[in-house]
Chain A
């Protein structure tokens, strides 16, 4: 299988298994596919099909048994822990199902977190944070703590945190899974804007067919194998 010329993510023969005692449980078996720059891809499949594992591997927070993962031209399977941390800091934005905001930090400080790892000055960091919080519509809530925000607002803060470093790709694991319908719609619209207005590439794991409908491409994972719909 040859690589697409516009691919930002290129996966070849990727395999991953987990060990439970003496038993080896294969999760992904020889998966190969590409994701084009600016594409919004939804990964669907039943529980235990390996969707989140695949997402974690693409995001560099888990390691594959074999195969290759190239993101924006960087082969990440051979990187060390520290190299992966550095790479993640500027190349990947994360959106989690339960937002994963730090409860003792305000919305502003949560969004500022990834920028602390850059060489930006305090003033520049402030400008960046204010800009992205405006994009997600929370400019007036930046001094609020996560506990003072609704679920939808917390997820918007998480999205602001994900895009504040202007990463190549965004990975989202069930981003609407913990939200009511209206908030979920709001988040999906925001993600759609990120793709269309900012040209971001989004890979989203979801169980929700209505969320998946927003994607350009839906890929199904079942028993460790991938199919397209």
Chain B
């Protein structure tokens, strides 16, 4: 008890230095936590993908389309429960800064495959009945203040022109991780317009979404679909939704690896700073350690004092940083919603933050502890001057 009191008093001996160290560790831990969360979110789309959904696309590249005529043949593959299709529309609302995902899809089958997009029966029906209708996610609607019945216009980039549509429903995600910043509208609206304007681009889809009875069937179904269209003009590549997401993620994997490295570097830097501070502290107290040894205290006692202080300061900073992670994540989620619609800190991240702080405390305490514990008494006393 006495020794713990001693550690706490030592911690606040040089208040400014201790506060700066605690704040330094807290900021580093906060940065570490936010970067880890960012990396985790990058992969979360893949992690939350359904195991019973497959994506069929052109085997050359996603930018090459597939004929809509493949629909019935895919639907006929054993194990397939339902098939939908669509195109990445890439429309812009107001200007480029207002980015969100928008797809032209076959609405009935798409909503059947995505039960996590929750709509009221009326909204669902209104959407299905209106060829120029669209549905938007709740967060997206909140961002722009859209209400059911509003008319919005997207400016096409892949499909030029102004595309007017009516908001017929606002869906909510079944899970917290469900994407609520998507706009979906009728593929028929896109296709019929293309038939009139650029006929050669009509009757083509960017992807098929394929529902399978159970996850175990997915590999066989994928092989069968790709086998059907082998040696055709548009060969297919069918993969699980998770693999499909991962193919996007892998394009940016180098960036994610860099972010991960930066997150570790932040901890390494604060470790060096904290170690330097602790070494300086221990050097200043050389005479005190020698005095304690003179009184009969052993290396273990001094080790406990110095190591305890180092770990306590780092853990204090770590807990502060971990606590601050939540409001910081909330701020990011609200202020940068277009980039991070869902920025939730996981329990694993908080654990990692605390462990990182503990590691900082342990590593930064090693040298001063060794130095304090092995100090020669007579030499240490001379340190007084």
**Residues of B close to A62: CB separation below 8 A:** 377-378
Q: Are B377 and A105 in contact (CB under 8 A)?
A: no
Most buried by B among A62, A94, A100: A100
Bound Cα distance A113, B296 (Å)? 10
Q: Are A85 and B297 in contact (CB under 8 A)?
A: yes
B293 in the interface, Cβ–Cβ < 8 Å?
yes
Most buried by A among B10, B294, B299: B294
Q: How far is the CB of B131 from chain A (nearest CB, A)?
A: 78
**CB-CB contacts below 8 Å: A98-148 with B:** 98, 100, 102-105, 109, 112-114, 116-117
Q: Do most interface residues of chain A lie in helix, strand or loop, or is the interface mixed?
A: helix
Q: Are A100 and B291 in contact (CB under 8 A)?
A: yes
Given contacts A56-B378, A61-B378, contact A102 B296 (CB under 8 A): no
Q: Are B296 and A88 in contact (CB under 8 A)?
A: yes
CB-nearest residue of chain B to A102: B288
B60 in the interface, Cβ–Cβ < 8 Å?
no
Find B384's partner among A53, A56, A98, A117 (CB 8 Å cutoff): A98
**Residues of B close to A82: CB separation below 8 A:** 298
* Residue interface mask A194-223, B partner, CB < 8 A = 1: 000000000000000000000000000000
Bound Cα distance A98, B382 (Å)? 11
**CB-CB contacts below 8 Å: B359-385 with A:** 377-378, 381, 384
B292 in the interface, Cβ–Cβ < 8 Å?
yes
Find B295's partner among A56, A89, A98 (CB 8 Å cutoff): A89
Bound Cα distance A86, B295 (Å)? 9
* Residue interface mask A16-43, B partner, CB < 8 A = 1: 0000000000000000000000000000
B13 in the interface, Cβ–Cβ < 8 Å?
yes
Q: Are B295 and A104 in contact (CB under 8 A)?
A: no
B9 in the interface, Cβ–Cβ < 8 Å?
yes
Q: Are A105 and B294 in contact (CB under 8 A)?
A: no
Q: Do most interface residues of chain B lie in helix, strand or loop, or is the interface mixed?
A: helix
B287 in the interface, Cβ–Cβ < 8 Å?
yes
Q: Are A104 and B296 in contact (CB under 8 A)?
A: no
Q: Are A117 and B296 in contact (CB under 8 A)?
A: yes
Q: Are B287 and A100 in contact (CB under 8 A)?
A: yes
Q: Are B297 and A117 in contact (CB under 8 A)?
A: yes
Q: Are B296 and A89 in contact (CB under 8 A)?
A: yes
Find A104's partner among B9, B293, B294, B381 (CB 8 Å cutoff): B9
**CB-CB contacts below 8 Å: A37-95 with B:** 53, 56, 59, 61-62, 81-82, 85-86, 88-90, 94
**Residues of B close to A113: CB separation below 8 A:** 292, 295, 297
Most buried by A among B293, B294, B295, B384: B295
CB-nearest residue of chain A to B295: A114
Given contacts A61-B294, A89-B296, A114-B295, contact A104 B384 (CB under 8 A): no
Q: How far is the CB of A56 from chain B (nearest CB, A)?
A: 5
**Residues of A close to B293: CB separation below 8 A:** 61, 85
Bound Cα distance A94, B297 (Å)? 14
Q: Are B291 and A102 in contact (CB under 8 A)?
A: yes
Q: How far is the CB of B217 from chain A (nearest CB, A)?
A: 70
CB-nearest residue of chain B to A109: B2
CB-nearest residue of chain B to A89: B296
By Cβ-Cβ distance, the 9 closest A-B pairs, closest first, are A89-B296, A104-B9, A61-B377, A62-B378, A100-B291, A56-B378, A88-B296, A114-B295, A117-B296
B64 in the interface, Cβ–Cβ < 8 Å?
no
